[in-house]
Structure 1
């Protein structure tokens, strides 16, 4: 069974049902008013004629919502038929191709590094472009080149650890743990390292550890980041903890 089609049908049924309920209530109120007016007509024949006429109008008033309901159904099904893939909607696969803007950035960065292999800014920019394109192994290699050129510091090691983590399918392999330990020995509240540790802990449901990493990060006064977003993340993790404790 096509679950998406079923979901669309249920939503449309609810919408149309509410529409008809509202219309029926309106017509009942209108019918009551018509009956009262008809009873006040002095001439019996004229009153009967007026009543039949008004009942005819009430019956005809159902044609408008009926056609509107049909139009909604046809319009919705037409959109679904033209844009949906029916049975294949839940069989989509991730697009591994690199966005053309990122691909252009990578190409430009490679050219610049080839021309200026000692350019620190070109190397870090290329490493970041690789990471944005999901080419984490290339990002790690480029960062190694940069670290060999300028020496290791907490920020570069934090960026490298992040690329290694995603390169290894979101795992902290021993090599990555060593890089993280070195980065934190240089700077306890390094931005990239603490964000990485907090994110991993949160995704694993280890909310206490995630909160601890975010709180340590908030002591960082040397790197720029959105402190409000970190506070919001802490609040969300605390809410998760409250839910688990109930």
Structure 2
């Protein structure tokens, strides 16, 4: 048995990467299937440059690949094309948040304020704020955002999922010292 282990350890010591075993590097490459989707979405947008849906689809594809800078750029193009919708402003704010390393900067705050001024119960903006608050440990604030959505008359609100999220946040509040 040792005749197999000793040569393997020697070979690993010479050819392996023992010295940097704890050095993690983030791979920023996008998988080929997602890149294919991004390319298809770009071509569809080029074929129909006045379609807000095409801009949104491309921005979401970029975001799915972690390309938040590109997602923000596409959202800028969409917002310059037509009258901004609250959901679009909230979406761009979330892309800015992730682009900036989960920092809620002034640009994102201004977009959130603008979106909520247009629609105080905008689903994408409130969900972004609730999730950001929850992940930051501000459970009461997250519950408040979710409550606004529950009391709204919006059809695209998953009330069961929000109810579960509120229950989890309330449980965290009870656990907190």
TM-score by length of 1: 0.60
Mean alpha-carbon deviation: is it higher for 110-119 or for 133-142? 110-119
Aligned to 1:104: 36
Give, in angstroms, the shift of residue 174 of structure 1.
0.8
Give unpaired runs (5+ residues) of structure 2.
Answer: 1-16
Map of 2:161 onto structure 1 = 229
> What is the correspondence of 1:123-142 to structure 2 with a 5 Å cutoff?
123-142=55-74
Q: Does 1:191 align with 2:129?
A: no
Does the 8 Å CA contact 2:149/2:157 hold for their aligned counterparts?
no
The answer to whether the aligner puts 1:167 opposite 2:99 as a matched pair is yes
User: Cα offset for 1:225?
Assistant: 3.4
Indicate the structure whose relative CO is greater, using CA pairs within 8 Å and at least 6 residues apart.
Answer: 2
> What displacement does 1:218 show?
1.5
Aligned 1:31-42 pairs, distance under 5 A: none
Q: Taking structure 2 as the reference length, what is the TM-score of the superposition?
A: 0.82
User: Match of 1:153?
Assistant: 85
Partners of 2:110 and 2:150 lie apart in 1 by: 23
Q: Which has the higher helix share?
A: 1
In 2, are the aligned partners of 1:190 and 1:220 still within 8 Å (CA)? no
Higher alpha-carbon deviation: 97-106 or 209-218: 97-106
What count of residue pairs does the alignment treat as equivalent? 161
Q: Secondary structure at the match of 1:218?
A: helix
Match of 2:147 in 1: 215
Q: CA deviation at 1:87?
A: 9.6
Q: CA RMSD in A?
A: 2.0
Match for residue 204 of structure 1?
A: 136
Unaligned runs of 5+ in 1: 1-84
Question: Post-superposition shift, 1:221?
Answer: 2.6
